[in-house]
Amino acid sequence: MLLPHQPLQDAAVLPSPRVPARDEAGPWHSEAVCRRDEAGLFFAPSKEPTAARLAREEAAKRVCARCPVMVECREHALLQPEPYGVWGGLTAAERRVVLTRRRRRESELQRAAHMPAAG
């Protein structure tokens, strides 16, 4: 879930962070709060009405907001990319926006690197 002080555009514009490896206790998902919650909260049933979907996604995001591995989960979903469900506090549609913005930003940085210096 995006924190109140972290709007979606800020999450998208920043370069993709290198996700640090978890310690030897196990993979990041072993610490995920959602492992204790119903999976149906994070994935839509078929033909789910819009109001029900929005309420379910908000509930899933509240779980994500208290998760110690939210960033790792989000990066996993962005790198895979996971096409369905709420991962790292973002819905599939929100992740598509983040990926589009990251690609655009990377293209801009590559173009800027190839432009001759003014002077």
Binding-site residue numbers are 34, 64, 67, 73
Distance from C-alpha of 66 to C-alpha of 36, rounded to nearest angstrom: 13
| CA distances in angstroms from 17 to 12, 23, 34, 45, 57, listed in the order given | 11, 18, 22, 32, 25
**Residues of each annotated binding site for [4Fe-4S] cluster:** 34, 64, 67, 73
With beta carbons less than 8 A apart as the criterion, state whether 73 and 67 touch. Answer: yes
